[in-house]
Amino acid sequence: MNNPIIRSMKPTPQGWPRISSGIYYRDASKMITWLCDAFGFELRLKVDGDVANGEVSVVHSELTYGEGLVMVGSENMAPKRRLV
């Protein structure tokens, strides 16, 4: 391969997928439960944050499905990005 970015990639740590994604929801706790119940995801990690409007925000979570990983968090934790 001649692509310098690909040549410089480090190996994936054991037990981690090559690609993972992040999704943000208004009620992340409810969505985590739904994703686990409806599709069979398994909760590997969940970090709760502050309470706002009577709901606990999810700072970070990791759901696994086979070798895949999805990170789920509350929408107020989403990175603030400008669209160009």
15-41: pLDDT as tens digits? 776 677 889 998 999 999 999 999 999
pTM of the model: 0.70
Query: Sorting pLDDT into bands at 50, 70 and 90, what band is 81?
Result: low
Residue 2: CB atoms within 10 A of its CB come to: 5
6-17: pLDDT as tens digits? 556 677 777 776
Residue 74: CB atoms within 10 A of its CB come to: 24
Instruction: Return d(Cα 55, Cα 31) in angstroms, integer.
Output: 13
| Half-sphere CA count of 1, side-chain side, radius 13 A | 7
Listed in order, strand segments (DSSP E) in the chain are 21-25, 42-52, 55-65, 68-74
Instruction: Return the pLDDT at 15.
Output: 72
